[in-house]
Structure 1
Amino acid sequence: MVADNVQGKKLPQYIAALAVCLGSVAAGTVLGWTSNITDKLQNSELNDVAIDSDAQGWIGSFATIGGMVMCFPIGYICDLIGRKWGCLMTVIPFSVGWLLIILADNVAMIYVGRFLTGLAGGAFCVAAPIYTSEIAEKEIRGTLGSFFQLLLTVGILLSYIIGAYMSPRDVSIVCAVIPIIFAVVFFFQPETPVYYMKNNKPDEALSSLRRLRGSSYNSENEIKEIKEALDQDASIKVSFFQAATTTASKKALFICFGLMFFQQMSGINAVIFYTGDIFTAAGSSLAPSTATILVGVMQVVATFVSSVTVDRFGRKVLLFGSIVFMMLSGLLLGVFFTLKDRDVLDADGIDKISFLPILSLIVFISAFSLGFGPIPWLISAELMPEEIKSTACSAAATFNWLLAFIVTRFYGNLKEAIGGDATFYIFAGISMVGIAFVFIIIPETKGKSFTEVQAILSGKPVQVRDDREGIDNPSFKN
């Protein structure tokens, strides 16, 4: 016998979420791989392969193409073989991709390697948030959901550090080891109880939930809730397109796609992929590799702060503060490049404000990591109705990677065509629109159950339990 009011253990849930997000470290190394080895690549330091600036652009962007291609298949794979094995299977493209880069004797092998490693990284953008959302209690769902972005930034920072001091080939070898470590650690974690229940395996679901909550927790009650939710979904025999026409689904889709748009079009991937180049162009006295590492450290710190505050302050507050400071930072970068490139200030004047690009990028990365880095992925898993979740989250992730490809591939061309200042003015302008989007459109989902979230999206009253009186009071929760 177990008491109904016994709280589930949190530690097993934290361990499972951290284990799956070790794969995010692997995905982060893919994103950060080019930042501190750009000059080394162009100097043919990767197996003497000749790489010009155009090839460098494609090397950076092929990873985003791979991520975009995999987003839809991984959703179906997770439904077919499970969330756990969907994550574990990404070790194959990770390993093959890095092996191609390590052994590359021509640029085509690097392209294919980057495509495959990006494919694996894109799979994680869908699989990991689904896994963490299905194992977490609602009280810590936000924290566990933010681990994906936190460990992603750790991977980016790791690639920054080793890229500064190692050859491209040695960097690739280190990156190739990380997915293997992930597979070994995550292999021992349970499949999600939701997946088991969807496949009519209640005994396995109960066993999984007991591993995640502890033996003293009333797992039978939560299993019953999961079954009721799934039965309700199953009773509504509609296609994806029919399900997507409900008010809640349409608003969820609009919010998720909007957040993905503002996340990428703020210019974040231009900053991540070309941090060193930005500092070089700014004429900063700080070595580009050192500045890149500094930015990476701030990214990890800010993402960690977000992970421990997202369930305290809420999603909307962090998103709003994030986009405001991203806009201001982009504006300051634009002003700096106007003063420098348009000959508004002489060399002495530029030297006096050489700290500005460093400060701006640190603020930009920190603000992004506090809100617009982790929360769009978290909200996608929280808002989507179950009957469209896999397809809708895959579509949102595909859209995200498409935008990442556009920014990554054409940032350099845009900078050459209109100047670095105008490019960052565009990013800042888009972020300004994002401020209004967050303020007007985004609902708060902190501490709310799936049923409450769907009611908010539908504009219906939410039943708020009054434990003192034992009655349900309808109210609108925003």
Structure 2
Amino acid sequence: METENLEDGLLTTKPRVNCRDVSESDSKATPIVILSCMVAYCGSITVGCSSAYSSPAESGIMEDLGLSIAAYSVFGAMATAGGIVGSFVNGKLADVIGRRGTLWFSEIFSIAGWLAIAFAKNAWWLDLGRLSLGIGNGLIGYAVPVYIAEITPKNLRGGFSNASQLMVCCGLSLMFIIGNVITWRILALIGTIPCILELLGLLLIPESPRWLAKIGKEKEFETSLQYLRGRNADISQEAAEIREYTEAFKKNSKTRFMDLFQRRYAHSLIVGVGLMVLVQFGGNNVIVSYSSSIFNKAGFSTSIGTISVAIIQIPATVASVLLTDKLGRRPLLLGYSVAYSTGMGGIPWLIVSEVFPINVKGSAGSLVSLVNWSCSWIVTYGFNFMMEWSSAGTFFIYMGVCGSAVLFVAKLVPETKGRVLEEIQVSITHSPQ
């Protein structure tokens, strides 16, 4: 009750949080913001590379190591199993060692995974490497959107956050295009490049000021925010808003995992978990993972098919980046029925990074990530068996889920365009249930 009264108090001071007098520091993308996002995007490229790797590498690995279809299905699904493992700790890790520290930790797992695959002599090392990659992906999938959402100005947050999906598509396209002309071992070594770039880049960028405020590092918080907004920018208003909101929840809210299931967070949970379930059971990830075999069964050239997929995703995702802060999140999510990369590809993670308050963001991140990767494992492992049952039936099921996603977004997902993170989080915890 004390916390709810406090949140009511925050709502009564909403004009301060919802101020529309955009200052210079609130509207500019400074060089350090751009650099910080670019470093974080290397993690997104890693996710794209690892997600797409199993498609162009399928025939080479099965031939060289003598894997059966069942054994290769296990290899493909190990990334999602690793994602589940990463999901158990990503939120807590991001709260304890920071967003930047979590990104650094994730790339250690990713590099180890790529090297294990590149030098694998049997299925055991392949699966171990794929599992390690998945753990890295599970950490990256939460840390990247949260970090970007917490460092960017509100009027640019959507575009910068959704650009992470563009980088996922770039990684995917890289694997699809060059995977047709080089061996699977060399392809795995190429996968280490964005990991190494991120490790080096993390030495140059600041930690999230909101996380620093949360853990009470006041001096570092102001230094980080000033660094992000520019040396001469006036950060007093933004700093006061972040400090007031964060301090209020620090003093009056416990951060146990079960607190996430309080009634006031129900709407946020429904939106976050619902989007993750729908995006996975819509089937996109399995199409990415097994596109070569899908084109082969359809009697179409696998090289032409995968290259076409790689090319088509880029302009669709660029459109999403450009439109997210202009049209809003909801219209692009509803546009999922037209183009996955424009809507459901990256915006669910953006919304998850926006709708949960700082005091439960770690727990919420772990929960929605766990749901995402668990559903991904189910559809990835079961895809080949479903195709043996009925290829047409498989895609009709995916179509039905996509239709359900349109209704879900229309009825339940709030629009967060152009709103301060603290404003979004206070308002949604008081939305009618």
Instruction: Tell me the TM-score normalised to structure 1 length.
Output: 0.82
Structure 2 CA distance for partners of 1:238 and 1:88, relative to 1, 3 Å: closer
Instruction: Look up the match of 1:59.
Output: 75
Superposed, 1:130-169 pairs within 5 Å as 130-169=146-185
Radius of gyration: which is bigger? Answer: 1
- CA displacement at 1:106 relative to structure 2: 1.1
Retained in 2: the 8 A contact 1:197–1:227?
Answer: yes
- Cα displacement string for residues 123-153 of structure 1 (whole angstroms, at most 9, x for unaligned residues): 1001111111110111111112112211111
Choose the corresponding residue for 1:74, options 86, 90, 99: 90
Q: Match for 1:24 among 44, 51, 57? A: 44
Residue of structure 2 in register with 1:352 after alignment: none
Superposed CA RMSD: 1.8
**Structure 2: any 5+ residue segments left out of the alignment?**
1-20
More deviation in 408-417 or 243-252? Answer: 243-252
The counterpart of 2:320, out of the listed 297, 300, 306, is: 306
User: Which position in structure 2 is the counterpart of 1:252?
Assistant: 268
Cα distance in 1 for partners of 2:295, 2:156 equals 38
Greater shift, 251-260 or 430-439, is seen at 430-439
**Alignment partner of 1:386 out of 350, 358, 371:** 358
Q: Aligned partners of 1:242, 1:43: CA distance in 2, in Å? A: 48
Match of residue 450, structure 1, among 393, 418, 421: 421
* Residues 249-328 of structure 1: pairs in structure 2 closer than 5 A: 249-284=265-300, 287-322=301-336, 324-325=337-338
Q: Which residue of 1 aligns with 2:400?
A: 429
Aligned to 1:439: 410
Aligned ranges 1:317-466 → 2 under 5 Å = 317-322=331-336, 324-325=337-338, 367-417=339-389, 419-458=390-429
Which deviations, in whole Å up to 9, do the C-alpha atoms of 1:323-350 show, x marking residues without a partner?
x33xxxxxxxxxxxxxxxxxxxxxxxxx
**CA-to-aligned-CA distance 1:333-386 (integer Å, 9 cap, x gap):** xxxxxxxxxxxxxxxxxxxxxxxxxxxxxxxxxx11100011100000111122
Q: Could you tell me which residue of structure 1 aligns to residue 3 of structure 2? A: none
CA distance in structure 2 between the partners assigned to 1:112 and 1:241 by the alignment: 30
**1:342 — aligned with what?**
none
* Secondary structure, counterpart of 1:90 in structure 2: helix
1:67 and 1:135 mapped to 2: Cα distance?
Answer: 25
Task: Deviation per CA, 1:42-94: give whole Å up to 9, x if none.
Answer: 211xxxx2211111101111011001111121221121111111101222111
Query: Following the alignment from structure 2 to structure 1, what is the Cα–Cα distance between the partners of residues 123 and 262?
Result: 48
AA paired with 2:41? C
Which of these residues, 136, 145, 148, is aligned with residue 120 of structure 1?
Answer: 136
Match of 2:189 in 1: 173
**Structure with the greater relative contact order (CA < 8 A, sep ≥ 6): 1 or 2?**
2
Q: Which runs of 5+ in 1 are unaligned?
A: 326-366, 462-478
Q: CA deviation at 1:456?
A: 4.1
How far residue 248 of structure 1 moved from its aligned partner, in angstroms, is 4.0
CA contact (8 A) 1:4 1:217 kept: no
User: Matched residues in 1 for 2:159 and 2:324: separation?
Assistant: 6
> CA separation of 1:4/1:126 partners in 2, compared to 1, >3 Å: closer, same or farther?
closer
Q: Is the 8 A contact 2:354 2:425 kept in 1?
A: no
- The letter for the 2-side match of 1:391 is S
User: Which residue number in structure 2 is paired with residue 6 of structure 1?
Assistant: 24
CA contact under 8 A between 1:133 and 1:141: conserved in structure 2? yes
Identify if the C-alpha distance between structure 1 residues 4 and 146 changes in structure 2 by more than 3 Å, giving closer, same or farther.
Answer: closer
Partners in 1 of 2:356 and 2:163 — Cα distance? 20
Where 1:244 maps in the other structure, the secondary structure is helix
Secondary structure, in 3 states, of the residue corresponding to 1:190?
coil
d(CA) in 1 for partners of 2:22 and 2:44?
35
Match of residue 36 from structure 1: 56
Letter in 1 for 2:24: V
- 2: distance between equivalents of 1:314 and 1:224? 27
Change (3 A) 1:168 1:241: closer
